[in-house]
Structure formats: structure tokens, C-alpha cells
A and B are shown apart, each in its own frame.
Chain A
Amino acid sequence: MLDLVYKYWLFFLEGLLVSLELSGIGLAMGFAIGWAVALAEVFGGRLASKLAIAYEELIRGTPMIVQLFAIYFGLPMLGLERFQAACLALGINSGAYQAGYFKSALEAVTRDQMDAALSVGMTKLQAITHIILPQALRKAIPAWSNEVAYLPKYTSIAFLIGVSELFHRATYVAAKTFRVIEVYIFVGILYLACITALTKILDVVYERVKVPD
């Protein structure tokens, strides 16, 4: 395997960077969408919360590959490049799952916190930003780290629309060298290492921001 690594390390490294970029952008987009959707569900009006729930159900109820193809092939008017389409699909998909985590975190901040915030004269918006969100963000971290563990792996489906990420490159090297098992084991190890590192970082963050409970 070492000779393979030696020969293709730069090729794989570039692919890994693309995968990590997809992960980072997808997670960040999903984070923004997730909070917006969760807040709409918990604090929004009837229409906002219905729309939020519909979005969550639509995304969670359809295969990610369908979403990816729908965006890449189905929305040519957007004129998205492969990488952009993959980012958008990952963000929209992850957003629905993150919304679920954030919603549970918001609901874990009990109603009495909102009562107290309102009683000292905060507006609902001030109560959400100063009292509810800081607590919900902390509570969301353990569940959110699941998403951090899932998404980098799911970026591999971007290869299906021809994004040259890690998995795509693995299929190429495997086909070229016929050393299929070795190539996929090596790539698997790369995914494993990244995800382990990321979740460890999150554990540390969680410990740092934790307040006595």
C-alpha cells in the first residue's frame, strides 16, 4: 500500500481538501439553515413553523442522491457548477438534520427561561438571542457532533456528479491500478482520521463552553 500512497499522496491530498471543503461549506450552510428552521418551528408563527416542518420532512424523507441530482440536473436555470451544486445539496440536506438537533436543544431550554427573560423587560428577540440561544447552542453540541461525523462521509456522493473529491479520486486510482481493496482501505482510513479529529475537537469545545448544570 505504501508505494500507492507514495505515488498518489498529492492526488489524494487534493481530493481530501475538496472533501473537507464540501464538508465545511455543507456544515456551515446546514448550521444557518438548521437554526433558522428550528427557530421557526419553536418560536415562529403557524405558517413559519408549518413551512419549516414541511422542509424537514421533504429532505429527511427523500434520498440525498435524489436531492443532489434534482439540484444539479433539475435546476439548470441556476447554472450551478458541480462543486456549487454539491455544496448546495449538502447544505440543504444537512440543514434538515441539524434543524432536528437544534429544535431538541431549543426545547430543552425550558419555558421558565423565556418567562424570566420577558419578566425583566426583554423583547422576545432579546430573550432568544441573550437567554435561549446561548443555552441551546451549548446543549446542541453533543448531538451536533453526530452531524460533523456524518457529513464528511456523505460528501462522497458528490462524485456522482463528477466532483473530484477524495472518493472520486479513489475510484480513479482503483481503476487504474486494479488494487481496489488497498485503495479503498487507504481512503477509508483518511475519512476515519478526519472524522475522529473533528469529533475530538468538538468534545474539547463542549468541555470549554460548558456551564455547571
Chain B
Amino acid sequence: MGGMREKVLEVVDIWKAYGSLQVLKGVSFDVRESEIKVIFGPSGAGKSTLLRCINMLTPPDRGEVFLRGESVTRARDVHKMRARIGMVFQHFNLFNHLTALDNVAIALRVVKKLPKAEARRRALEALRRVRMEEWASHYPAQLSGGQKQRVAIARAIAMEPDIILFDEPTSALDPELIDEVLQVMLDLARDGTTMLVVTHELDFARAVADEMMFLDSGVIVERGSPEQMLTSPKSERVKAFLRKIERLELRRRERLARPGV
């Protein structure tokens, strides 16, 4: 479907080992303009490491990453490339000493060198998009997990990045807080944001993913449309994993339906 759209991100043959543990073994894919790709797979598969290799928080041992044709992995000023790659972390990683507004504004000031008033205006606009503008003056410690994650998303979108990487954005959240974050991500998806999302939220994937990739033991075992991956996966490993996820999902729904249990 996206054949004509420009490649935003190209990941070429990424390898990474921690000591003798080979975490990534030659991962390649690309993400085109406004595409949403979902990566899923068991814990320890290398999903987080893959995202961290893409923005060089963890430099890969081998392989290359390109952002709109420019090398990220060999960039002289890697921070300039990172400013164009948003990242949303599993544990939010909000700046604890700053209000929600300043969490979003600080990179606009420090990295984009915007004047204070302009940074503030854009930060408020980003908070509005995640429905957090009323919480602008609150500190992270005063926010719920879902609210923190929405501020973290605002922090990423305010930089107007070419792509946003999401590292299991809902897996550290209490079940009742997951939907508010997913809703914001759905909004972004519909606005045409290019996204690479590590998640086990299958409903989200079904709704907006252009492609799903199953990562296991450092390799992409299978990839395809959500339709194909979720209904008729080829690999036994994917089938077994999906069954497990669905069981967990079911249990979560039951818990939500019977509060206090």
C-alpha cells in the first residue's frame, strides 16, 4: 500500500550483543511516511534494544539506520538526528524536576532554541493534543501513569519529529489507564504520524497498523498485515505467542469488569 510514499526510516541489518548474549541478529525493515508499524514478541526478544539502536541510545554493533536517507548510525552529530526521532518510553521517563509544561517545552528551548514564549505556546498546543493542558503546571509525581505517558507523548510530538518510536507505552500502566493512552496514539495515527510501536495491544495493532512484525530471539520471524498476522500466522511461535497474549488480555478485561477483585 505504501509503495509510493517516501521511506522515513530504514533499518538495515542491525546486530547487537551484550557480552556473549546476541540480542539482535540482523534486523531490517523500513517505515514509510504516515505508516504505523507494530513490533511484538516475547520479552527478551530484543524489542527495546532495537528501538534504542534506532536512535543510538544503544549503538548497534553492526548495521545502519537511515532517517529520510541520512545515516543516523554514522551521523557526526547524532543528537541532531535524535531531535528528529521521537521516543516514548515504557516508564515515561518524564523529567522529575519539571512541570508537565516544562517537560514538553524544555527541548524546544534547549534543542530547537525557540524563544520562551514560543516554546510555551507550542508545548501547550502539544499538551492539548494529548488532553493534558489542564495539568500543565503539575509535576510528574502528581500525575497518574496514564497522564505521565500522555505528557511523554506530548514531549515527543512537540519536537515535530519525522517518526515516533514507542517502547511498550502501555505495559507499565494499570489496566484502567491503558485506554486513555491508546486513544491518544490512535489520534496521532489518524493525523498521519509516522510511528514504530512496540506493543502487545492487539486491538491497537488491528485498528491502525500497516504491518506487524514478530521479533523473537533477535530476528524478525514473521511479518504481515494485522489481518494476516492475527488470524492466520504462519509460524508456530507466533501462534503460541498470540494465544498467550489473548489469554492475558481476557484476564485483564475480566479484572476491569469486576473492579475490586
Contacts and interface: CB of A to CB of B under 8 A. Distances in A.
Interface of A: 112-113, 115-123, 126, 130-131, 134-135, 138, 211-213
Interface stretch (B15-23, B76-84, B225-233): B76-84
B57 to A, nearest CB: 6
Contacts of B111: 120-122, 126
For the complex of A and B, the 8 pairs showing the least CB-CB separation, nearest first, are A121-B83, A120-B107, A116-B93, A119-B87, A212-B141, A121-B111, A112-B93, A212-B139
Interface in B102-148: 106-107, 110-111, 139, 141-142
A121 B79 contact: yes
Nearest to B155: A120
B96 A116 contact: no
Nearest to B156: A120
Given A126-B110, A130-B106, A118 B82 contact: yes
9 contacts: A113-B96, A118-B57, A121-B84, A121-B159, A135-B97, A211-B96, A211-B139, A213-B96, A213-B141
B67 interface: no
A176 B107 CA distance: 66
A121 B186 CA distance: 25
A135 B96 contact: yes
Contacts of A211: 96-97, 139, 141
A140 to B, nearest CB: 13
Given A121-B79, A212-B141, A113 B95 contact: yes
Interface in B187-222: none
Contacts of A116: 87, 89, 93-95, 152, 155
B141 A131 contact: no
B9 to A, nearest CB: 15
Interface string B29-73: 000000000000000000000000001010000000000000000
Nearest to B95: A131
Q: How large is the interface on B (under 10, 10 to 19, 20 to 34, 35 or more residues)?
A: 20 to 34
A119 B139 CA distance: 20
Contact of B107 (A113, A122, A134): A122
Contacts of B223: none
B91 interface: yes
A131 B95 CA distance: 7
A111 B160 CA distance: 25
Most chain B CB within a 10 A radius of its CB, from A120, A121, A126, A138:
A120
Given A118-B79, A119-B55, A112 B110 contact: no
Contact of B97 (A118, A126, A138): A138
A119 B106 CA distance: 13
Nearest to A117: B95
A112 B91 contact: yes
Contacts of A121: 79-80, 82-84, 107, 111, 159
Contacts of B110: 122, 126, 130
Contacts of A112: 89, 91, 93
Contacts of B55: 119
A121 B95 CA distance: 14
B203 to A, nearest CB: 27
A52 B139 CA distance: 35
A213 B139 CA distance: 8
A117 to B, nearest CB: 7
Given A112-B89, A116-B155, 19 more contacts: A112-B93, A113-B93, A115-B93, A116-B87, A119-B82, A119-B86, A119-B87, A119-B93, A120-B155, A120-B156, A120-B159, A121-B107, A123-B79, A131-B106, A135-B96, A211-B97, A211-B141, A213-B96, A213-B141
Nearest to A134: B97
Contacts of A135: 95-97
A136 B89 CA distance: 22
Contacts of A130: 106, 110
A122 B139 CA distance: 21
